[in-house]
């Protein structure tokens, strides 16, 4: 039995690699517009079993030449004789905002605000990750109204006290790092009025609940969750205007980037998925109808968000449930948001239905970002089980996505980007002046560990 359990993992890895490789060849037209150099890299890494660092071991000269090509195309010139930047450390420009690298601290609910006001925890949490090397730090879903919160601990931007608190955080990030900072605006919809994440997650508050609204009157967990009220046109007008007001405050607070949360079963997502939208009016039925209200909100927000600042949209690219949103739908959804003016699509998945059956694994959601980027023709953010530099470098270098969002790795290590660069032997990374003494020590520790590993092999 033990043998079978151990072998089963390896069998699954081989099966997954075979599936990835087969899909690449069956959809090779998807990559026809890649430059020859990037097409070759995509071909070599199609199974995801051969990684960026595997290629370095096999042909270091070829990979260095390709890294130099990637850096040049990103506008990062490499001095003669110098090592080119790792793909994940190349810059990326959207509208008037230039990110120093491709690593993004994913928006993660911290449940640590009081009346929607971020305090010292968020200053330290976000500030540390900005100083830790990421190019873009995203604030967790920030709610546009009190009844739009997931929990009582969620942040908001429905009043000026919250705006002032966020201004303090944004100013710290801008004053103490070269990272950019963005905010994700959202409304919890039918998944609101619940306990904190470390209590009974997704379960209603024991007291003090607020009424919920959604696309349709369907509870998230049958027999457990509150049942929302199906939104009226008047509700839609109010919610849209709340998003607009929150976006104005986000601009006043100095945020560099805004993301609209249309994923994970929250309010705007509840319109998009046929699992949660059973309306029989102009906002239900076809995909075009189900997108009508989310696109209305997007356009209204984009109209007040500064022209020189990017706006992305997070979607659930698959519901992982029969009859729900599929990857094919995700491509169409992305095309609609692109036409409305979206700059990027943040490709997450699931959390729409408790009946979901996701297929987990390394970088398990990256294929969604790949399809959206290379079929809908819009830059994407890959997210989900990306936890090594090897993962991020491969995703960026192959053209599967343009940015990589990491969540849990940044909870475990605020300086993930700096540490991973040191781990793979890349030294040309700027550290905060206060922490520079730690840079050389970390690099030395990794050098010694690598040397010892080579001795063990011999």
Output 82 or 346, whichever has higher pLDDT. 346
The reported pLDDT for the residue numbered 70 is: 97
Nearest to 162 by CA among 179, 185, 178, 137: 185
pLDDT in the model for residue 440 = 94
Fold of 86-426: TIM Barrel (3.20.20)
pLDDT of 451 > 90? The answer is: no
Confidence of residue 77 (pLDDT cuts 50, 70, 90): confident
State what percent of residues in the chain have pLDDT above 70.
100
- Please give the mean pLDDT across all residues of the chain: 96
Q: Mean of the pLDDT values across residues 105-133?
A: 98
In this predicted model, which residue has the larger pLDDT, 47 or 305? 305
The model's confidence at residue 8, banded by pLDDT at 50, 70 and 90, is confident
- 387-423 pLDDT, tens per residue? 999 999 999 999 999 999 999 999 999 999 999 999 9
Per-residue confidence (pLDDT) for residue 15, from 0 to 100? 87
31 is catalytic: no
As given in the structure block, the two tokens for residue 223 are: 């027999």
141: pLDDT confidence band, cut at 50, 70 and 90? very high
Q: Would the pLDDT of 211 be above 70? A: yes
Burial of 79 (0-12, 13-18, 19+ CB in 10 A): exposed
Of 393, 353, 400, give the one whose Cα is nearest residue 373. Answer: 400
pTM to 2 decimal places: 0.95
Kindly indicate the confidence band of residue 457, based on its pLDDT and cuts at 50, 70 and 90.
low
| Mean pLDDT computed over 159-176 | 99
Give residue-wise pLDDT tens across range 248-257: 999 999 999 9
Is the confidence at residue 314, as pLDDT, over 70? yes
Residue with more model confidence, 1 or 197: 197
Q: How confident is the model at residue 10 (pLDDT cuts 50, 70, 90)?
A: confident
The rounded distance, in Å, linking the Cα atoms of 165 and 21 is 49
Mean pLDDT for 48-62 is 94
Task: Tell me the mean pLDDT in the region 257-273.
Answer: 99
Please state the rounded mean pLDDT for residues 145-171. Answer: 99
Q: What is the rounded average pLDDT of the residues 274-290?
A: 99
Catalytic residue of the set 266, 283, 360, 435: 266
> Which residues touch 205 (CB under 8 Å, ≥6 apart)?
152, 193, 194, 195
Q: What confidence tier does 331 reach under pLDDT thresholds 50, 70, 90?
A: very high
pLDDT number for residue 458: 61
pLDDT category, 48, cuts 50, 70, 90?
A: confident
Task: Reply yes or no on whether the pLDDT at 378 is more than 90.
Answer: yes
Angstrom distances, CA of residue 31 to CA of 46, 74, 145, 336: 11, 19, 42, 21
Domain spans, the chain: 1-84, 86-426
């Amino acid at each position: 039995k033990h043998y079978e359990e151990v072998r089963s993992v390896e069998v699954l890895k081989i099966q997954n690699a075979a599936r990835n490789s087969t899909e690449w060849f069956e959809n090779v037209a998807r990559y026809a517009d890649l430059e020859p150099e990037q097409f070759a890299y995509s071909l070599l890494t199609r199974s995801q079993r051969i990684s960026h660092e595997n290629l370095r071991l096999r042909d270091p000269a070829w990979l260095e030449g390709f890294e130099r090509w990637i850096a040049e195309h990103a506008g990062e010139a490499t001095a003669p004789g110098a090592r080119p930047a790792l793909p994940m450390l190349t810059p990326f420009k959207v509208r008037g905002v230039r990110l120093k690298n491709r690593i993004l601290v994913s928006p993660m609910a911290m449940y640590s605000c009081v009346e929607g006001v971020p305090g010292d925890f968020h200053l330290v949490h976000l500030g540390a990750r900005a100083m830790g090397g990421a190019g873009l730090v995203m604030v967790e879903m920030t709610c546009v109204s009190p009844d739009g919160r997931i929990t009582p601990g969620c942040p908001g931007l429905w009043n000026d006290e919250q705006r002032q608190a966020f201004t303090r955080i944004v100013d710290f990030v801008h004053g103490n790092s070269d990272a950019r900072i963005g905010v994700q605006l959202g409304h919890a919809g039918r998944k609101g009025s619940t306990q904190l994440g470390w209590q009974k997650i997704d379960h209603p508050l024991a007291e003090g609940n607020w009424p919920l609204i959604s696309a349709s009157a369907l509870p998230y967990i049958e027999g457990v969750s509150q049942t929302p009220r199906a939104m009226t046109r008047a509700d839609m007008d109010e919610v849209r205007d709340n998003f607009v007001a929150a976006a104005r405050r986000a601009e006043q607070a100095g945020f560099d980037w805004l993301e609209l949360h249309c994923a994970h079963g929250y309010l705007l997502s509840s319109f998009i998925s046929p699992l949660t939208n059973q309306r029989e009016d102009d906002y239900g039925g076809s995909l075009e109808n189900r997108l009508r209200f989310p696109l209305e909100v997007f356009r209204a927000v984009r109209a007040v968000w500064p022209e020189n600042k990017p706006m992305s949209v997070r979607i659930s690219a698959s519901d992982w449930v029969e009859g729900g949103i599929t990857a094919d739908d995700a491509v169409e959804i992305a095309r609609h948001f692109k036409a409305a003016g979206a700059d990027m699509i943040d490709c997450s998945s699931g959390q729409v239905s408790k009946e979901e059956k996701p297929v987990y694994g390394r970088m398990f959601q990256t294929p969604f970002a790949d399809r959206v980027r290379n079929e809908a023709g819009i830059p994407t953010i890959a997210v989900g089980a990306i936890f090594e530099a090897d993962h991020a470098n491969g995703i960026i270098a192959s053209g599967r996505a343009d940015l990589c969002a990491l969540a849990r790795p940044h909870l475990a290590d605020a300086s993930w980007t700096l540490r991973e660069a040191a781990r793979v032997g890349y030294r040309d990374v700027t550290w905060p002046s206060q922490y520079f003494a730690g840079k050389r020590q970390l690099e030395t520790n990794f050098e010694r560990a690598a040397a010892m590993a080579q001795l063990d092999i011999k």
